[in-house]
Amino acid sequence: MSGLEVQLAAIRAARARIAPHVHVTPVLTSSRLDAQLGARLFFKCENFQKAGAFKARGAFNAVLSLSDEEAAKGVVTHSSGNHAAALSLAARTRGIPAYIVMPTSTVRAKQEAVAAYGGQVTLCAPTLAAREAAAAEIVARTGARMVHPYDDEAVIAGQGTVALELVEQVPDLDVIICPVGGGGLMSGTALAVKGLNLQALVIGAEPAGADDAWRSLDAGKLIPQTDPRTIADGLRASLSPRTFGVMMDHVGGVLTAPEEAIIEATRLIWRILKIVVEPSAAVPLAALLAHRADLPFQRFGLILTGGNVDLDRLPWMG
């Protein structure tokens, strides 16, 4: 089999593996937003997923792929967001420990969410080096399996199940727009769509203030994120060599969105679709608002990645 066929087989296997544990999320439409953009928009609502975000898919696939011997020692990750909660839920479902390293800067509500799902939280200094060191210490002490938030084959395969569902629910899409942070969902989406040999263009969307994917693709080499500044906190991570490689091979480009467009897109989704999404999830719509004139297409699939927000710190509160 070709590389794409192998990747598609892994995504299909992930779908079967996680099916008892995750939701098939709905696709919503809005004639009002269609009229505003002059196109048909189809919103894949992963904000309705278990643990409130698409991350449950990759986390469950990673946890359920472990042998009984591996699983008994538990799993570990470093994350301040949705992956931490998703991995904690997946581990609890399998009855194994989840060790979660979170920076001290993480809002208390997110720490409490992880604890509520059974994760054992270890706080560390708010730097990547501190996070990696704390996770490595736990691995050395417990033998737990590291499950990276995005630089992991099983996680990427799990995230690819979003696209498998979307293209079945809405055939003949011209474009699928996916938010880009570390690139796990972006990679899974591209591998699923191209593995199925569909004609849809797969495009990434990211904040202008955290545009390492755009800069990396433009330069043809991986350029790490250094000082991300965006309200879309789920998209501040850097691509890995693995996810960058997939994007170079299979992604048609990356659109950037300014902060004001991200806030406006979040408001539009809340107000018109009547659903709660986090700013990171609104970035595909924000990018489309900013670049519609450059995209002469009519049928857009937009992945709304999650709905975990701090209701006391909404993006339009200033």
In CATH, what number is assigned to the domain containing residue 38? 3.40.50.1100
Please check whether residues 115 and 172 belong to one and the same domain.
no
Q: Which of 106, 132, 151 is the last residue of a domain?
A: 151
Please check whether residues 172 and 147 belong to one and the same domain.
no
Please check whether residues 76 and 207 belong to one and the same domain.
no
Please check whether residues 188 and 160 belong to one and the same domain.
yes
55: CB partners within 8 A, 6+ apart: 49, 82, 83, 85, 86, 87, 149, 159, 306
What single string gives the DSSP state of each residue in 150-196? SS-HHHHHHHTHHHHHHHHHS-S-SEEEEE-SSSHHHHHHHHHHHHT
pTM: 0.94
Please check whether residues 252 and 297 belong to one and the same domain.
yes
Q: Which domain holds residue 60?
A: 56-151
Please check whether residues 187 and 313 belong to one and the same domain.
yes
What single string gives the DSSP state of each residue in 255-282? EEE-HHHHHHHHHHIIIII-----HHHH
Task: Tally the domains of the chain.
Answer: 2
Per residue of the chain (318 residues), what is the pLDDT tens digit?
A: 678 899 999 999 999 999 999 999 999 999 999 999 999 999 999 999 999 999 999 999 999 999 999 999 999 999 878 899 999 999 999 999 999 999 887 777 778 889 999 999 999 988 888 989 999 999 999 999 999 999 999 999 999 999 999 999 999 999 999 999 999 999 999 999 999 999 999 999 999 999 999 999 999 999 988 888 899 888 888 899 999 999 999 999 999 999 999 999 999 999 999 999 999 999 999 999 999 999 999 999 999 999 988 777 777 776
Please check whether residues 209 and 66 belong to one and the same domain.
no
Q: Per DSSP, what are the bridge partners of residue 99? A: 76, 120
Structural contact between residues 45 and 28, judged by C-beta atoms closer than 8 angstroms:
yes
Please check whether residues 64 and 111 belong to one and the same domain.
yes
Predicted local confidence at residue 258, as pLDDT: 96
Predicted local confidence at residue 291, as pLDDT: 95
Q: Which of 151, 173, 191 is the last residue of a domain?
A: 151
Please check whether residues 164 and 249 belong to one and the same domain.
yes
Predicted local confidence at residue 111, as pLDDT: 85
C-alpha–C-alpha distance, residues 205 and 286, integer Å:
8
Predicted local confidence at residue 311, as pLDDT: 75
Q: Which of 151, 186, 206 is the last residue of a domain?
A: 151
Predicted local confidence at residue 226, as pLDDT: 82
Cα–Cα nearest to 89, from 118, 111, 112, 120: 118
Please check whether residues 61 and 42 belong to one and the same domain.
no
Please check whether residues 43 and 166 belong to one and the same domain.
yes
Amino acid identity, position 166: L
Please check whether residues 33 and 66 belong to one and the same domain.
no
